[in-house]
Amino acid sequence: MADWMLWWIPGAPLVAAILLACFGKTALRGISPLVCVAGVGVSAVLSLLLMFTGNVAEEPIRLLGYQWLSIGDLTVDIVLQADALSTMMLVMVTTVSSLVAIYAAGYMHGDPGQPRFFAAVSLFVFSMTMLVLSGNLILLYVFWEAVGLCSYLLIGFWFHKPEAAAAAKKAFLVNRIGDFGFALGIFLIWLLVGEALNGLPPAGQQLLDYSTVFQAAETVSRAHPTLLMTACLLLFAGAVGKSAQFPLHVWLPDAMEGPTPVSALIHAATMVTAGVYMVCRLSPLFALAPEAQAVVATIGGITALLAALIALTQFDLKRILAYSTVSQLGLMFVALGSGCSGEEILPVAAIGAMFHLFTHAFFKALLFLGAGSVMHSMGNVIDIRQFSGLRRVMPITHWTFLVGALALAGIPPLSGFWSKDEILAVVGLAAEESPYPSLFGWLRIGVLLTSGLTAFYIFRAYLLTFWGEERFPKAAGHHPHESPPVMAYPLIALAVCAAGIGLAVGPSHAFFHFLSHAPGLKGEPHPLAASVMATGTLVGLAGVFTAWWVYIARPGLATTWAKRFSGFYRMSLGKFFFDEIYSAVAVKPLEGIADTSSLVDKSVIDRLVDWIAGRPALVGRWFRKWQSGLIQSYAAMMFLGLMLLTVYLVWVE
């Protein structure tokens, strides 16, 4: 039974995508949302059945489809692999995607490109589920790129808008930088594993199968420790691009130009989580390269704090949430990097990161869909300076957004409290037991500061949107209203998950016990210390109280602080000018080279080619004069030629 479920988890959304691509504009035009919801919903139901009835934790499933390609010593099979880690990801991806698809049915109602949108969403879910189920690195890379392609289609869905087209292109190009490193890392792993095993993997497996790579990892580590570290850093480069980490974080906030359901899909449960999943999946490799893990933690810490500082001053509600996603992903990488502390800490670190990824998917999807509900009611206006006091006209959106904000702020007993405290705990352990105590000491301070800033900026957004005097933009019309039921029900479902999932699996360590069956993650949980829980709660509450004090109790205080710290305010509002720096350092010089090349091509090369091409025509015009049509002229020319030839032969002899 589990075998056919494993094929149909990606198969159902693929069938939906094919049907919508072929018949979306004709026979299925009126029911395209239903087809997408059905395909993704079947995938979600099967994922839940696989988790609760498939016994994948105790007996992982490995299905061999067929041989895809064979080039010399490189053979790649289509292999699906379901274990505790992949099953958890499947449940998260498909559940959130199903709720987003239902929400999108209302949000995209009346859009002429609706069939194309739902076809792209279905293809996106198929690609993500195949990425999760991939049993080898090549298949992982193929669907890693497929997810990137689908994101390009979805971000640029409204391609007639210059901003959307530019954002899609930016996301695609920035991700190519990280993906190039990822490809190099896979190639290096192939070389190292092939050398370690003399090109002879275990029976029924290939060199790039996860199990084969993990079996050879110890041998590779002893023979080539530096090359293994290099391979891990190259693999992490792919995660930096896909999960929008510093310095490749600039694409994610601009992805807000796509429809709001796309933002929830990309930012919560699918594309951006792929990097965290990949590093966790390959944790047996990273465990043998503690230097690479330290780099992972450092990049994550810089990203988490940097994005939180930028989110403090933004006014676009979706952009605030986008930078929040970047920041929270940074915290996950800090946790993953804390695994360098040793074999006992590695499972705690990796599972802690995945726990936060799991809870984050639900409350961040909730916040994005809540922002979309506000945008829908406000006539597509999303600037929090143009509206306020929405809690009375949008009660469902208000209460569900509040649940998401509390979960993100880490307020007990909501989900974010349990998962964020796991990260605080593991970073504290790393500061005491890792080979880099100073580094993780600073990272612990950074995580606490990021947590406080997170609570502040999300409640800044919440208070400015839903509290204060009722104020609506002209685009909203005279009667702002709550979203229709098809959009409200997913909000309620996500709010229930954001509130209860952490409490359901956190105190009992059920999440840890389930994931500890995955390769490289076997271990025992570390109970959360009361001091960690108290510290995390106090930091979160301090951020919430500060936001209330600045924007409700003393509304003029925000302006005063902005003037007093004008330098920092301008830096934060300008997103620390990363886009401008990249434009000056990379984009403009490359455009200059392109313009120069174009000028040389048109002015020199094209003219030279045209000149050369014109010579035969010139010669032809000269010889054409001799073509008179008179027989006597031709005879005279033949006689002249014969005489010249005779003279030449006599002269030569």
* Predicted confidence (pLDDT) per residue in 455-477, tens digit: 999 999 999 999 988 888 876 66
Is residue 326 within 8 Å of 246, Cβ to Cβ?
no
**pLDDT of 648 over the 80 cut:** no
* Cα dihedral across residues 314, 318, 320, 325: positive or negative: negative
Counting every residue, how long is the chain?
653
pLDDT at 640: 82
* Predicted confidence (pLDDT) per residue in 314-362, tens digit: 999 999 999 999 999 999 999 999 988 777 888 999 999 999 999 999 9
Distance CA 523, CA 164 (A): 46
**pLDDT of 612 over the 90 cut:** no
Distance CA 495, CA 365 (A): 10
Looking at residue 527, what DSSP letter applies?
Answer: P
Q: Which residue has tokens 């080279």?
A: 593
* Predicted confidence (pLDDT) per residue in 104-129, tens digit: 998 888 888 899 999 999 999 999 99
Distance CA 390, CA 464 (A): 9
Q: Is residue 136 helix, strand or coil?
A: strand
pLDDT at 111: 83
pLDDT at 652: 67
Angle made by CA atoms 47, 50, 51, in degrees to the nearest 5 = 90
Type of residue numbered 104: A
Structure tokens at 572: 């934060």
pLDDT at 296: 96
Is residue 326 within 8 Å of 273, Cβ to Cβ?
no
Q: Where are the alpha helices (DSSP H) in 112-259?
A: 114-133, 137-155, 162-196, 210-223, 225-242, 251-254
* Stated pTM of the model: 0.91
* Mean pLDDT calculated for residue range 505-532: 86
Distance CA 628, CA 66 (A): 73
Full 3-state SS string of 466-521? HCCCCECCHHHCCCCCCCCHHHHHHHHHHHHHHHHHHHHHCCCCHHHHHHCCCCCC
Is residue 333 within 8 Å of 277, Cβ to Cβ?
no
Q: Which residue has tokens 């005063």?
A: 560
pLDDT at 1: 58
Distance CA 64, CA 79 (A): 5
* Mean pLDDT calculated for residue range 95-105: 93
Displacement of CA 319 from its chain's centroid (Å): 15
Q: Which residue has tokens 């039974």?
A: 1
pLDDT at 603: 85
β-bridge partners, 77: 67
Distance CA 653, CA 647 (A): 10
Least confident of 217-221, 307-311, 444-448, 591-595: 591-595
Q: Is residue 204 helix, strand or coil?
A: coil
pLDDT at 643: 84
Structure tokens at 625: 């004069």
Q: Which residue has tokens 């946790």?
A: 335
pLDDT at 189: 95
pLDDT at 476: 66
pLDDT at 653: 60
* Mean pLDDT calculated for residue range 518-546: 89
* Predicted confidence (pLDDT) per residue in 226-240, tens digit: 999 999 999 999 999
pLDDT category, 607, cuts 50, 70, 90?
confident
Q: Which of 106-115, 182-191, 498-507 has the highest mean pLDDT?
A: 182-191
**Residues above pLDDT 90, as percent of the chain:** 58
pLDDT category, 450, cuts 50, 70, 90?
very high
CB atoms within 10 A of CB 402: 16
Peptide bond into 413 cis (omega under 30): yes
* Predicted confidence (pLDDT) per residue in 419-443, tens digit: 999 999 999 999 888 889 999 999 9
* Mean pLDDT calculated for residue range 159-173: 90
Is residue 334 within 8 Å of 426, Cβ to Cβ?
no
* Predicted confidence (pLDDT) per residue in 253-285, tens digit: 988 888 888 888 887 767 899 999 999 999 999
- Mean pLDDT, all residues of the chain: 89
* Predicted confidence (pLDDT) per residue in 27-37, tens digit: 787 889 999 99
Q: Which residue has tokens 């620390």?
A: 576
pLDDT at 459: 96
Closest by Cα among 62, 91, 72, 79 to 138: 79
**pLDDT of 202 over the 90 cut:** no
DSSP H or E segment with residue 524: none
Structure tokens at 138: 């090549």
Closest by Cα among 534, 280, 304, 301 to 440: 301
Distance CA 321, CA 371 (A): 9
Least confident of 69-73, 119-123, 223-227: 69-73
pLDDT at 236: 96
What φ, ψ does residue 97 adopt, rounded to 5°? -65, -40
CB atoms within 10 A of CB 58: 9
pLDDT at 426: 93
Distance CA 603, CA 490 (A): 59
Type of residue numbered 237: A
How many angstroms separate the first and last alpha carbons of the chain?
A: 97
pLDDT category, 481, cuts 50, 70, 90?
confident
Closest by Cα among 260, 456, 464 to 366: 260
Is residue 34 within 8 Å of 120, Cβ to Cβ?
no
